[in-house]
């Protein structure tokens, strides 16, 4: 069995005074200190990052991490668009399954705000197909097409989408590491400017800087010395077409559906047993699709169910979603997001989530998506 024994994250936001590797170092030092581990006790590092090769002109980030830690161990970088962090975690789990009594660090990071919006958006668009890029489509445009299709098919309006942002901004006020820590109303969402119809500024996650790290181990001696630990019950990756036009169903993320089914089968638990979930709400429509694709709500129901706000902290629901604030309010430094999601589940299951702590949380799920659904990672943790 593999265990997560520690988590550290920097603040997410516009961190002008810190470089990419300042953030990486803070996250790595923080998680080592939390676990009372020394650099030499880490057997491998897995680094999730999307944009360093484009924005930083640095593809050899692994060697820089070795330099920071002063080690000569294997260090691997994973790039899978916004799912880079989740994929890094999945690869680390596979490494541990092949190597007994090892400790690994998984760190995800991104530095996005030092560059012009045009540079950053161009870099992010590299996760779309060449044809979509040539047509001038950004990810807000791609998710807007998905949203239009969904709203028309199931007879919903932009008001239904707005409730995702309202909920996640409320959760962000409870997270002192979140990019945005203010509540918003559905009217504010609806009055915010359009980015790509029907998605507006307040339907969209921000461009953020940040880094997050976790320790995962299969060394029981190390586990016993830790104050907190959770079991990694499943981590599954699935892929789909990079182009929307090749998808069988525009109103679902098939890769999430496949990875979710595999993860629940591997974890040997029912969906009703999940108490907390971190879902990839890059845009408001994405959380609605995730709730359906993961089987928490029936197909076409999410637009109606979200209005009930049963997934909001403090409302007494059986499943609370995006307690960190999600990508929408916590922020979205793309390489860090998948690790932060897993870290938030770790905090909830170990009773360390402070003002947003869910009572008696036993199982949690994280869903990390790359591009418009070309890659999905679903991870289930339990105590």
Which domains does the chain carry? 3-115+208-230 (3.40.47.10), 129-205+232-382 (3.40.47.10)
List pLDDT tens digits, range 95-111.
Answer: 999 999 999 999 999 99
List pLDDT tens digits, range 124-133.
Answer: 999 999 999 9
- Beta strand 230-239 with 375-382 is antiparallel
Give the pLDDT band (50/70/90) at residue 122. Answer: very high
What sign results for the dihedral spanned by CA atoms 248, 306, 128, 324?
negative
Output phi, psi for 99, to 5 deg.
-135, 105
List pLDDT tens digits, range 166-199.
Answer: 999 999 999 999 999 999 999 999 999 999 999 9
Q: What is the mean pLDDT of the chain?
A: 97
pLDDT at residue number 330:
98
List pLDDT tens digits, range 149-175.
Answer: 999 999 999 999 999 999 999 999 999
pLDDT at residue number 115:
95
pLDDT at residue number 106:
99
User: Is the peptide bond prior to 292 cis by the omega test (within 30 degrees of 0)?
Assistant: no
Distance between CA atoms of 313 and 307, rounded to whole angstroms? 14
Q: Give the length of the chain.
A: 383
Rounded mean pLDDT of 235-240?
98
Rounded mean pLDDT of 2-10?
98
In Å, what is the CA distance from 206 to each residue of 250, 329, 332? 24, 8, 6
Hey, is 228 helix, strand or coil? coil
Give the pLDDT band (50/70/90) at residue 301. Answer: very high
Burial class (CB in 10 A: 0-12, 13-18, 19+), 221: exposed
For the annotated catalytic residues, the residue numbers are 82, 332
List own/partner pairs for 314-321 with CB under 8 A and 24 or more apart: 318/272, 318/275, 319/274, 319/275, 319/276, 319/277, 320/275, 320/276, 320/277, 320/358, 321/167, 321/276, 321/277, 321/278, 321/279, 321/287, 321/291
List pLDDT tens digits, range 322-352.
Answer: 999 999 999 999 999 999 999 999 999 999 9
pLDDT at residue number 107:
99
């Amino acid at each position: 069995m593999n265990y997560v024994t520690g988590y550290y994250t920097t603040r997410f936001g516009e961190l002008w005074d810190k470089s990419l590797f300042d953030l990486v170092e803070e996250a790595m030092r923080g998680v080592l200190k939390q676990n009372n581990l020394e650099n030499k006790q880490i057997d491998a590092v897995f680094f999730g990052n999307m944009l360093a090769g484009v924005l930083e002109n640095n593809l050899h980030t692994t060697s820089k991490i070795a330099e920071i830690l002063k080690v000569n161990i294997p260090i691997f970088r994973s790039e899978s668009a916004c799912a880079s962090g989740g994929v890094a975690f999945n690869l680390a789990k596979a490494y541990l399954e092949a190597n007994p009594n090892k400790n690994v660090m998984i760190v995800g990071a991104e530095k996005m705000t030092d560059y012009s919006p045009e540079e950053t958006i161009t870099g992010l668009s590299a996760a779309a197909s060449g044809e979509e890029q040539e047509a001038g489509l950004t990810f807000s445009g791609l998710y807007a097409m998905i949203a239009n299709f969904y709203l028309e098919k199931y007879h919903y309006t932009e008001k239904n989408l707005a409730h995702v942002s309202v909920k996640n901004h409320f959760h962000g006020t409870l997270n002192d590491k979140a990019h945005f820590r203010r509540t918003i109303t559905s009217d504010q969402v609806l009055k915010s400017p359009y980015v790509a119809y029907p998605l507006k500024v307040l339907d969209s996650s921000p461009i953020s800087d940040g880094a997050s790290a976790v320790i995962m181990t299969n060394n029981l001696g190390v586990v016993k010395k830790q104050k907190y630990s959770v079991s990694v019950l499943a981590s599954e990756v699935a892929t789909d077409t990079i182009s929307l036009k090749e998808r069988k169903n525009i109103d679902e993320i098939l890769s999430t559906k496949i990875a979710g089914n595999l993860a629940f089968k591997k974890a040997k638990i029912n969906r009703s047993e999940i108490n907390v979930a971190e879902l990839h709400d890059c845009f408001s429509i994405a959380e609605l699709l995730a709730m359906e694709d993961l089987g928490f709500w029936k197909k076409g129901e999410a637009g109606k169910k979200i209005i009930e706000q049963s997934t909001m902290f403090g409302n007494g629901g059986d499943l609370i979603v995006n307690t960190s604030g999600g990508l929408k309010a916590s922020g979205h430094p793309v390489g860090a997001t998948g690790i932060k999601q897993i870290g938030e589940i770790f905090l909830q299951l170990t009773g360390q989530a402070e003002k947003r702590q869910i009572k008696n949380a036993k199982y949690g799920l994280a869903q990390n998506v790359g591009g418009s659904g070309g890659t999905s990672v679903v991870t289930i943790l339990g105590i």
